[in-house]
Every structure is written in C-alpha cells, then in structure tokens.
Amino acid sequence: MFGVLRLALASIVVIFHADYKPLGVRIGVSAVVVFFMLSGYVISGLYATRFISFANARHFYIERFIRIAPQYYFYLLLTLVMLYGFNIWNGLPARELSTADVISNLMLIPMGLLIYFPGLLKFAVIGQASSLALELLFYLLVPVVFVFPIACVAVYCLSAVVFCLATHGEVSMVAYSYNYLPGPLVFFIIGHLIYRKYWGALALALLPLMANQFHLIYVGQEAAGFNRDLYVGLYGGLIAIFLLKEFSSNSVDYWMGAASYGCFLGHYSILIALRHYGIFENSKFAFACLLLATSIFVGLLSFLIVEKPTLNFRRKWRIAEKEKI
C-alpha cells in the first residue's frame, strides 16, 4: 500500500507550499523525510531481489534513470515554457539561465552538491528537484551500502554524527540536517534496515537520534532550523512504513502511486500559475484544494503520457538483459 503513502506525502508537500504549517511544523520537510525513508525501504527490496550483487550496479543505475528521468524532463520543459515562454513568474524574480544553471538542471545531481560548489547553480527551475538530487546521490551509494554490511555501518555512523552536529548548529544546520548528504542519509539507511528486518541494528541506529532529540529539548533547540520537522518525519515515517508494509497493493493503491511523482514534480509550477491569474486569491482553503486536485490530476496525466510508455520500455530492456546472461 505504498502508493497511497506516496500520494499522501506528495499531497502534504503541496499543502505545505500552499502555506499550511499545522502547529508550526513544516509538514513539507517532514513529508520529504518520510520519502527518504520509504526510498531506502523500497530500493533495498529492489536491489536485493533484482540486482543482488555489486557487479549489477550498472543495471541498477540504468533502471533508476529510466524511472526518474522522463517525468522530470517533462516537467522541466513545461516549467521552462511557463516561465520563459509565457513570462509567468508570480512570486519569483525573473532570472536568466546561466550555462551552469542549464547543466545543473539537466544533470540534477549537481543540485545535491551545491554546498561544496556554491557557484554551480543560481536557479533551480523545479525547486523541489533538490530533494530528487539528494535521492540520486543516495542511489550512487546503494551498490556499496546495501551489499557490504561494514560499509553500511560506517556510512550510517558518519551520517548520524553529521546529522546530530547539524541539528545543534555545530555545522551548517539547514544544509547538513536536511538538504545535503551525508546528514539526511540516516533516513535512507533506516528504511533499508526496516526492509531487511534488522531489528537490533534498527534499534541501535535510532538510539543516537533519539538521544540527540532529548538533548535538543534540554538545550532549547528542539525547534531550531528543521529540527522539529525532521523528527516529526522520522517518527511519522516509522509508523507509516510499519503499518503499510504488510498490506498488499491493489488497483487503487497502484493509481494513487502513479499520480504521486508527477504531483510532487509539477505542483509548484501550477501554484505559480494559479497565483499569477489570481484564482481563489481570497480563499486560502479553496486555493489549496484546487492546487491539490489539479496537481493530482496533472500527475496522473503525466504518468499515462510519459511514464507508462517508459515502464513498458524498461520491461523490454529487462527481458533483453536477461537473455544476454
């Protein structure tokens, strides 16, 4: 039933960008944390059942590209047309695209490295694509982290240290607790541990994070930066994955999951367009409802037009690869 969860998370991000912060929580940040954990869980299963060893890393990278790229480039093109073709920039200053911007938006991965190369990108055409870039960096580590237990332990320990330091402001709080590796890598690995049913390792992994939270409360920094939002996502993700992992998928779950990726990628451009034309500008609730409904519809449409044909291509590619062996 993870299709339901994916669409729920994408919807939370949409609602957050419509300026909803219940109890002061940036629910969009919390939802992305759950996305990271879910990705760790799902990719762990994918790698264990289809790729198994480090030698199959090339096939894993190709599959991930086929899965992520088509809809991303579809929405990138649509957003470029909206911004530069129709001059719809509501709420954003009009910007020129530099060569570095073009390369970063096309390659995606550089967006996850901006903390190390700050001059690389001035304008992300799809703002939420930075989370997608972080996920791609995680994919690069998967063949090592998910195959070699020692590497997994070492990476997690490093990530947990960086994450805890970031939440206390000892290193860049916003950067290393949420936006850039290695900090958020802890969430991906937690998802991996849940899939593998390494309950002892999971308990050990959660222990320093929970101790860190208690210390944040003690020193009065529990709400600093993204701290509160991150821990809401951590606990919410644990509950959601544990509750839903035992349920089988069905047609409703399939179609909800199908709409989720496009909903996540396309909603901010829809938001800008709705605000540009002043639709429901006097009703925050009506605006959020229209934005969400439109984003889900467009997400489903882009799945049918763009992603479904690529899924058929991926299926044929898998068969062709098996025949080579």
Q: What is the pLDDT of residue 96?
A: 87
Question: Both tokens of residue 240?
Answer: 């959601």
Q: What is the pLDDT of residue 302?
A: 97
**Rounded-to-integer distance, Cα 35 and Cα 41, Å:** 10
Question: Taking Cα atoms as reference points, which of 254, 29, 273 lies closest to residue 128?
Answer: 29
Q: What is the pLDDT of residue 180?
A: 93
93-117 burial, b at 16+ Cβ within 10 Å, e below that, comes to eeeeeeeebeebbeebebbbbbeee
Which residues of the chain fall short of a pLDDT of 70?
52-55, 317-325
Per-residue DSSP letter, 248:
P
Q: What is the pLDDT of residue 136?
A: 94
Q: How many domains does the chain have?
A: 1
Q: What is the pLDDT of residue 94?
A: 80
Q: What is the pLDDT of residue 104?
A: 92
Domain extent, residue 146, equals: 2-324
**What distance lies between CA 263 and its chain's CA centroid?**
12
Q: What is the pLDDT of residue 320?
A: 65
Helix (H) or strand (E) holding 149: helix 149-167
Q: What is the pLDDT of residue 324?
A: 61
Question: Both tokens of residue 136?
Answer: 């791609």
Q: What is the pLDDT of residue 189?
A: 97
- The angle formed by the CA atoms of residues 252, 306 and 110, to the nearest 5 degrees, is 105
